[in-house]
Amino acid sequence: MASKMLQFVKTEKQMPTKRTADERARDFDEIYKDFSKQSAEEQASRCSQCGVPFCQVNCPLHNNIPDWLMLTAEDILQEAYEVSSATNNFPEICGRICPQDRLCEGNCVIEKGFESVTIGAVEKYITETAFENGWVKPAAPIAERAESIGIIGAGPAGMSAADMLRRQGYQVTIYDRYDRAGGLLIYGIPGFKLEKDIVERRAKLLADGGVTFKLNCNIGTDISFSEIRAQHNAVLIATGVYKARDITLPGAGLDGVVPALSYLTASNRKSLGDDVPEFDSGDMNAKDKNIVVIGGGDTAMDCVRTAIRQEAKSVTCLYRRDKANMPGSQREVQNAEEEGVDFQWLSAPQAFVGDDHVDGVLAQRIHLGRADETGRQVPQVIEDSTFKLEADLVIKALGFDPEDLPAMFDEPKLRVSKWGTVSIDWKTMMTDMPGVFAAGDIVRGASLVVWGVRDGRDAAERIHSYVQAELAGETKAVG
């Protein structure tokens, strides 16, 4: 074992410096600064190089974390980058936005009484150093292949699959209905978690490596799915989930009651310098308004923190369970609290009030009752507990479901689950339609970027096997 490791006894856990809440509320830049070389080496050296590294087991990509921590501690960074990028197409993105407290770091088994190694921040440091030194290169396949693969969706699942397939020499085209590549990385997740040039840098690298992007191209509207299928040896569906779950309460149709993703997309577009009429008109802008966000997941946290940065008069989050039961990352809740968000735990909306435009939310207090069959305590309304919150803009962040893909693609044969997610054979990652694969949120339901990357990589491998088997079959038939 390297002598530099096992420093957790002497060296305390440190996160990269976080900008003060006051400072970060004034812009959309990331809130964490980069590790200095010295901090990254010191923090990496805290790892005890476990025989069975639970950090690695609980990383969806099974990143070889102990090895790249040791290489960082020893300042062998190019090798650290090679190890880290061997299992992850976008380590600098995962290092920034994975909920590490639930994945790698939450499962770090450094000795009791010592806090976990700061894995995500070191992963980001390694890859940013690699970019600075020109070690991150576009795909350069040893030989070109004639076969082509069509990928629908330029989110993390589609982009990681494209990267893997292009490296194998396939002709890869990604179609996306948006005008920029990145999916939710670009239009969902706000810049204070992931600055947009980080995503654009990856899209450019793919294009420089020979991946063709066809943007502003909605499959099912601009080009039919069957046309895409006919053009390629295999097709990957990586379209994500975009149908906002709605709320059926009195007043839900009032102006000023808006879905979270429309609100976040307007804000992200504004930061990217686009013309955004719905932002400029004030409809999707929190400035000087009382904002109420409904929900307790990561999307709700992104909305409340965006509203703070847009200089809202007040920002309240209504969530029907308590803090311990929030589905969102605790780290993000803490960031929101520091930035001045008022959390009304154990509270649920009862009605939205106003004439044409919302001006308030009636809410009720909740008591958590007995656990149901899933083990979660059931929220129960406390009688006569109604209270009113002033609200000029109400943002609904209640989760997402898939759109009706068989209808959208005019492919009734495309089998979906009862939730509308595309059904695949997990061994082959193929749908019921031969040569049509699926990956990411459209298969799992709303999930995480790191799972999108994992699925994209797995799908690329299975597509390669499928295409090669098809080619072998053709050769045999001709012979």
Contact pattern for ligand SF4 over residues 52 through 91, marking x by CB under 6 A:
-xxx---x-x-x-xx---------------------x---
* Binders of ligand SF4 in range 379-418 (CB under 6 A): none
Give me the least distance between CB of 303 and ligand FAD, in Å please.
Answer: 8
Task: Report the distance separating Cα 393 and Cα 427, nearest Å.
Answer: 46
Task: Report the distance separating Cα 294 and Cα 344, nearest Å.
Answer: 10
Buried b / exposed e over 420-451, threshold 16 CB at 10 Å, is bbbebeeeebbbebebbbbbbbbbbebbbbbb
Residue 53 binds to ligand FAD (criterion: CB under 6 A): no
Hey, how many other C-beta atoms are within 10 angstroms of the C-beta on 75?
Answer: 12
Q: Which stretch binds ligand SF4 (CB under 6 A): 117-125, 276-284, 358-366, 373-381?
A: 117-125
Task: Report the distance separating Cα 261 and Cα 274, nearest Å.
Answer: 17
- Binding residue for ligand SF4 (CB under 6 A) from 16, 120, 150, 190? 120
User: Which residue type does 332 have?
Assistant: E
The site that binds ligand SF4 (CB under 6 A) totals a number of residues, namely 27
Give me the least distance between CB of 117 and ligand SF4, in Å please.
Answer: 4
- Binding residue for ligand SF4 (CB under 6 A) from 261, 450, 459, 467? 450
* Binders of ligand FAD in range 98-137 (CB under 6 A): 98
| DSSP-assigned letter for residue 242 | -
Q: Which stretch binds ligand SF4 (CB under 6 A): 43-51, 150-158, 251-259, 287-295?
A: 43-51
- Going by C-alpha positions, the residue among 122, 119, 94, 96 that lies closest to residue 107 is 119
Residue 441 binds to ligand FAD (criterion: CB under 6 A): yes
- Binding residue for ligand FAD (CB under 6 A) from 36, 218, 226, 465? 218
Task: Report the distance separating Cα 423 and Cα 432, nearest Å.
Answer: 8
Q: Is 390 exposed, middle or buried (0-12, 13-18, 19+ CB in 10 A)?
A: middle
Positions that interact with ligand SF4 (CB under 6 A): 47-50, 53-55, 59, 61, 63, 65-66, 88, 94-95, 98, 100, 103-104, 108-110, 117, 119-120, 123, 450
Positions that interact with ligand FAD (CB under 6 A): 97-98, 152-158, 175-178, 183-185, 188-189, 193, 218-220, 238-240, 264, 298-299, 302, 408, 440-441, 447-450, 452
